[in-house]
Structures are given as structure tokens and as C-alpha cells.
Amino acid sequence: MKSCLLPVHNLESSDRTAMYALLKNHFEGITWQVFQSDLERKNWVLLLKDETSDTLKGFSSLMFCQTSFAGETISVVYSGDTIVDPSAWSSTALPRNWIAAIDFLRQQYPHQKLYWLLICSGFRTYRFLPAFWQEFYPRYDAKTPDREANLMASLAREYYGNFYQEAEGIVRFHHPQILRDGLIEIPTGRQTNPHIQFFEAKNPGYRLGDELVCLTEIRYNNLTRAGQRMWQAKSTLKFLSTVES
């Protein structure tokens, strides 16, 4: 698997088309207009391609920016569309190169705290948090601290506006993306996982495309051992442009 990080405006039309096709294969409710609209609100995209065939196997778009909270300037990563084809699920290419990409962007503002605001309509996405991060919210085994709860709400309001339902901690879009049959169901044997149980209870409308708002601080000592291995692993990531504000 090969990967690259590039500004959204540098995407080739063929890449946009392949990204859209990959999303449509895995989600219902995808339209070209909504896909393009979401993409234009991001400034970076991570592409994962088969090294031999150059076929797109996955991607993740993101908005990397700075904002103020409680009198402090912080960096924030807002996640956009993210998908990996099931044929590449056994690969660690996405987490390994995503962490490398974020580390690259983080270095432009090394003295600022960096937070990741993630929205999840599927349990597999939510499982990235306990797999790679020690402290994240919301979670089944700890109450969200007031500061993190306020920060999460502030960032979600700022980026998602009226789509954010603060009382529920959910983003509910007018035209949600819904995982197709075979991907949305929680497999037998995984329902007993406490993180998955929590996700299902906290986001009962996930089958309708409701997105659970989550937050973690991106720093090395907040990574699990698995996350630290990803951080330290040799990355195949190529950076195709200088960082832009």
C-alpha cells in the first residue's frame, strides 16, 4: 500500500471520482453534490492506493486549523469522509499513515495543543479511539471532564452549526451517509465489547446515519502501546505539498 497527503485543491479529478465511487460502494445516501460540498470544507486528504494497480483502497479527508478556546490558541483536526475498502481491512496503512500525516501537520504549530474532533456513525470508527488513544471522550468507563465537554461542544458548534445536537452529543445531517448492509451490523461476538456497547447506547440512531461527537488530544503520551507503534513505524506517506494555513 502506498499513501500520500495532499491539499484538497491539488486533487486530480480522477482521484475525486475514485473517492466518490468508493464511498458510494459502502454508504447509502451519497450524492456527488454532498460529497463535493463536504470535501471543499476540508483542506487535506490522505489517499491510500494499491502499490501495484494504483487502485484507490481508502482515503480520509480532514480540516486542520487553529481556533481559540478559553483564551488559548489550539490546533484542531476535524475528520471528514473516511473509508477503507474491506479488501484492505487487514492492513494498518490507514492508522499508521494517518498518525504520520497528523504528526507532519502538528509540527507547523509545535507549541499548541492539538485536538481531534471525530464524528462516528459506525462502531469501527469509534473503535479507533480505544485502540490507539488512552484518554478520549465520551467513553463507557469515565465521565467526560467539564473542560473536555465544553471544548467538544464548542468545536462541534463552530464546525457543524445547527447540525450539532448538543443535548445528545450527536451531529445529525439533513442528508446522512448510512453504511450499507453488511457493514453497519455489529458482528456476532462483538456485542459484548464494552466500547461497542457504549457506542450503540450513546448513539442509538447510528443506523440512520447519526454521528457521535468524540474528542481526544493528539500527543505521544496519550497513545496506547499500539498507537505508539504506529507513531514510530516506518511510514510510506508522501507529502505532495507544503503546509498551507
Mean pLDDT of 138-164: 97
Domain ranges of the chain: 2-239
Average pLDDT over residues 107-128: 93
Name the superfamily (CATH) of residues 2-239.
Gcn5-related N-acetyltransferase (GNAT) (3.40.630.30)
pLDDT in tens, 32-71: 998 999 999 999 999 999 888 989 999 999 999 999 999 9
- Mean pLDDT of the 129-133 span: 95
pLDDT, averaged across the chain: 91
pTM: 0.90
**What pLDDT, on the 0 to 100 scale, is given for residue 244?**
46
SS (H, E, C) the chain: CEEEEEEHHHCCHHHHHHHHHHHHHHEECCCHHHHHHHHHCCCEEEEEECCCCCCEEEEEEEEEEEEEECCEEEEEEEEEEEEECHHHCCCCHHHHHHHHHHHHHHCCCCCCCEEEEEEECCHHHHHHHHHHECCEECECCECCCHHHHHHHHHHHHHHHHHHEECCCCEECCCCCCEECCCCCCCCCCCCCCHHHHHHHHHCCCHHHCCEEEEEEECCHHHECHHHHHHHHCCCCEEECCCCCC
Average pLDDT over residues 1-8: 91
pLDDT at 2: 87
| pLDDT over 90 at 89, yes or no | no
174-232 tens-digit pLDDT:
888 888 887 788 877 788 899 999 999 999 999 999 999 999 999 999 999 999 988 88
pLDDT for 204? 95
Tell me, what's the pLDDT at 16?
96
